[in-house]
Amino acid sequence: MPVSVAPIHKKKSWKRKSARLEREHERGGPSELEEEEEEELVNYMETTRSRSLSELRYMRKDFSHRPGEHIVTWLLQCWDNRASSLELEGKEAKQLGSLSMEGGIDKANGKGAPALSLWRRLLSAIKERYPFKEDVVYRPGKWTTIERGIQYLRELAVLEVIYGDLDDEQVSKDPNEVRCTRPMWWNLVRSAPALYDNSTAVMTWKDREGPTVDEVASHLWENKESISSSLVSAVEKLSQNVQQLKEDRSYSPPVGTSVSAILLLSAF
């Protein structure tokens, strides 16, 4: 007995490849297929508009500047939350509201109609609000752990990205790929605790070019393991010595008891 199978309708999804770009080389007018594709795009945008607004609300939670948080620390947190992977048009960026808690930055963030990543928008907005690096005062105290030291170095790298050439697509906007400058290195070494002084001082420049933030982070992690191993060995050796001392004391009579016994025998 034949079984009827319902036809499968494949759901079309919109890709960034535009039909308009494909027909730039064509002499004729738009084909029926192209008109259908544009109509599908309009329908797709209309049906997903509510979902997009919902996503924007979630994004506002993920990328909002917390009270008391330094602007550089906040910006690095936005990077770690994958702000570079979120493409937004100007209208969508405006719908995010006040992310930075600074009107000038939020206003600049919503500028420009073309789709840009949220990361790129934030970089440009902060640079517009603070045109010079000296305007962003950032002087944290000494870091006490390797994790905090790497965090501090990455925050310094964010400043380098902001005040680099944001319009040059060949220049990476990834803080981890930034090459350390002499001032960055000096600030890191100066803020290091005594335990890590040697770890931060032995890094060298190759061909007058500083190591990347990633390379420095790897170096610090390796030295952390070395320092940790040395500390563990020292603690283990100290524990063994203490245990041996306890065992030695357990096999010999207390000094006070020996003296008392001698005095007691001499009395008879």
Write out the two tokens for 58. 């979630």
Give the range among 7-11, 133-137, 143-147 with minimum mean pLDDT. 7-11
Residues 124-136, mean pLDDT to the nearest whole number: 94
Name the helix (H) or strand (E) containing 119: helix 118-129
Write out the two tokens for 34. 């192209």
- Write down the pLDDT at residue 115: 86
Name the helix (H) or strand (E) containing 36: helix 32-63
Q: Exposure of 102 by Cβ count < 10 A (0-12 exposed, 13-18 middle, 19+ buried)?
A: middle
**Is residue 174 predicted with pLDDT exceeding 90?**
yes
Q: What integer best gives the mean pLDDT of the chain?
A: 73
E strand map for 86-215: 87-88, 116-117
Give the range among 103-112, 205-214, 231-240 with minimum mean pLDDT. 231-240
- Write down the pLDDT at residue 128: 94
Residues 17-46, mean pLDDT to the nearest whole number: 46
Domain residue extents for the chain: 32-137, 139-245
Band the pLDDT of 198: cuts 50, 70, 90: low
Residue % of the chain over a pLDDT of 90: 32
Higher pLDDT: 157 or 205? It is 157
Band the pLDDT of 69: cuts 50, 70, 90: very high
First to last CA, the chain: 120
Q: Which amino acid is at 96?
A: L
- Write down the pLDDT at residue 221: 86
Write out the two tokens for 259. 């003296």
HSE-up of residue 105 (Cα within 13 Å, Cβ side): 19
Q: 127 Cβ partners below 8 Å, 6+ apart? A: 162, 163, 166
Residues 251-264, mean pLDDT to the nearest whole number: 44
Q: Which amino acid is at 202?
A: V
Q: Are 133 and 159 in contact (CB under 8 A)?
A: yes
**Is residue 266 predicted with pLDDT exceeding 70?**
no
- Would you mind telling me the total number of residues written for the chain in this entry? 268
